[in-house]
Amino acid sequence: MKPDALLEKLLDLRGYKTAEDRENFLHPKYADMFDPFLMHDMSKSVARIFLAMEHNEKICVYSDYDADGIPGAVILHDFFKKAGYENFCNYIPHRHDEGYGVHKNALEILANDNVKLVITVDVGITAVDEVAFGNSLGLEIIITDHHEPLDVLPNAFAIVNPKLGDYPDRMLCGSGVAFKLVQAMIEDAAKSSQASLPAELVSLKQASAADGLRGFCSVLAAASDGWEKWLLDMAGLATLSDMVPLVNENRIIAYYGMKVLEKTKRPGLAALFSKSGINMNYLTETDIVFSITPKLNAASRMAHPVDAFNALATTDLSKATLAAEHLANLNDERKKIVAKIMKDVHKKVSARKLAGDLKQVLVVGDPSWPAGILGIIASKVVDEYSLTTFVWGSEGETIKGSVRGVGDISVVALMQSCAHLFVQFGGHEDAGGFAATRETIHFLEEEFCKKYDEFKHVVSKQVTTIAHDMELSVSDVTFQNYRSLRQMAPFGMGNPTPVFAFKNIIIDLVRQFGKTTEHLEVIIRDGNDSVKAICWYATADSFSEKIEQGKTMTLLGEFDFSVFRGKTELRLKIVDFIK
């Protein structure tokens, strides 16, 4: 099949029927991003931040500790640095010592450090008690978050969340919301540097002098020709990492984010790419999600999230190199722990499966499992067993856990229905975190299963799972077709990597490779044409049908482009083998 015909057929299958639809998808325009002031409380937030800058109030950016919250923290860090505003700090809670969310003890520390305004990133939408406590300390709090709001909202000064109000794209990630805040501030600064202050600011301010603010606004106005686009590396990285649907505004953020990442000016990112063996000439979203994101998350799982923040924010080359080395080492240690725990999980689940004791929801855990890697474990269990899964471990006397869904239920709604069993919980439709006591943890599965049918359809998924997009022959696996398919990138949730069916192929070779022969290589043949297909951490028994040399089968696979030691190779990535 010719490249143009392949691309056109795929676009048609995915609903891009007209020439205009196809052009907008393949070449999204930055100018088509939505007006940031359409987002809930955006004008109010911009006015309050500018007021703080005018009066030199200390501002704290309080972010979550994952690969969404940390890039968002860097976005606001870079914004204040660009504006020349120095009276700010970043605070990232320790995953183990403090846990997820906004914490009263942290707010108390900030208040004692003379902070007046707190801006959250990727966290805070459920922090009702914590915000009330912060208010009592004299703090004003602007929440920027993308998680699901509960029935009662925190009494914050402002709440910027695309799931509130009528913002056109409800599915932005936390860093995406932070980026929209910066967009709004730069846009407003351009106006404020030329004329009167924003109306919201005039109504808020007490003093008449605004020279200091106009100075910051003048600096930012000079950046209004597109400086903020350089922050799309962080917004794009987070958008890919947080697995939000890559459609609408997220498509624009991820598309241009990849372009900025390809020519990154951040020495820490460049060092991480080098440490990961990534060739920047062939950077893909897969490199980000499977090589960079785990290293950033390893900081909070194995040490302190500030290590990842420093790696992304630093402009010092030597510090960046050391930070990248540190993150890589932490990630290697994390892999070993995950492998050990997954063996324990398999034993527990296999025993329950044999006993016929697996239900709609799986709750599995052990007090010895460290809380920092439970999200990874939950994701792996969902992939292997296709069950909404709650995985727990301990942190001191508290039980901490992570949940991942399979797409047929809102896990945060399910947890809310059993709120009396939790110390704390939060998240969105497909993922979340929780804390419980050692007594209540053993009642979770039974209660969830009772509530399961009630919440089974409380979802707004934008993704349809398909077995494969279309049929191809082995002769269609060409560099021309691969380059044509890459026009649809970046791929991810909402825009999945195309999966093709190669029917009636013959298995010519099956072999294991890798340091411990943990990976699988298969050579498939169709007439006189053959191609290599690979799968990481798999054997001949890992698929719907066992692979055997000489057997005629159907391969479901994706195009996979590899660069190793300067040598390029086009092959297939195995999704499944079927009859």
Containing 22, the helix (H) or strand (E) segment is helix 19-26
Phi, psi (deg, nearest 5) at residue 165:
75, -150
The confidence score (pLDDT) of residue 100 equals 82
Q: Characterize 228-237 residue by residue with b for buried, 16 or more Cβ atoms within 10 angstroms of its Cβ, and e for exposed.
A: bbbbbbbbbb
Domains of the chain: 36-224 (3.90.1640.30), 359-455 (3.10.310.30), 465-578 (2.40.50.460)
Sequence-separated (6 or more) residues with CB below 8 Å from residue 18: none
Q: Characterize 64-89 residue by residue with b for buried, 16 or more Cβ atoms within 10 angstroms of its Cβ, and e for exposed.
A: bbbbbbbbbbbbbbbbbebbebeebe
Residue pair 394/416 in contact (Cβ under 8 Å)? The answer is: no
Cα gap 160→154, rounded to integer Å: 12
Q: Judging by DSSP bridges, how do beta strands 519-526 and 529-535 pair with one another?
A: antiparallel
- Intervals of the chain under pLDDT 50: 195-198, 201-210, 458-466
Which of 127, 378, 72 has the alpha carbon at shortest distance from 242?
A: 72
Q: At what angle do helices 104-112 and 128-136 cross, to 10 degrees?
A: 20
Q: State the DSSP code for 500.
A: E
The confidence score (pLDDT) of residue 193 equals 60
The confidence score (pLDDT) of residue 397 equals 78
The confidence score (pLDDT) of residue 384 equals 84
The confidence score (pLDDT) of residue 540 equals 94
Residue with tokens 């949940």: 403
Taking only the tens place, the pLDDT of each residue in 70-119 is 999 999 999 999 999 999 999 999 988 887 899 999 999 999 999 999 99
Residue pair 237/72 in contact (Cβ under 8 Å)? The answer is: no
pTM of the model as a whole: 0.85
Q: How is 243-309 classified by DSSP, letter by letter? A: T---SHHHHHHHHHHHHHHHT---HHHHHHHHHTT--GGG--HHHIIIIIHHHHHHHHHHS-THHHH
The confidence score (pLDDT) of residue 385 equals 86
Taking only the tens place, the pLDDT of each residue in 159-180 is 999 999 999 999 999 999 999 9
Cα gap 43→393, rounded to integer Å: 42
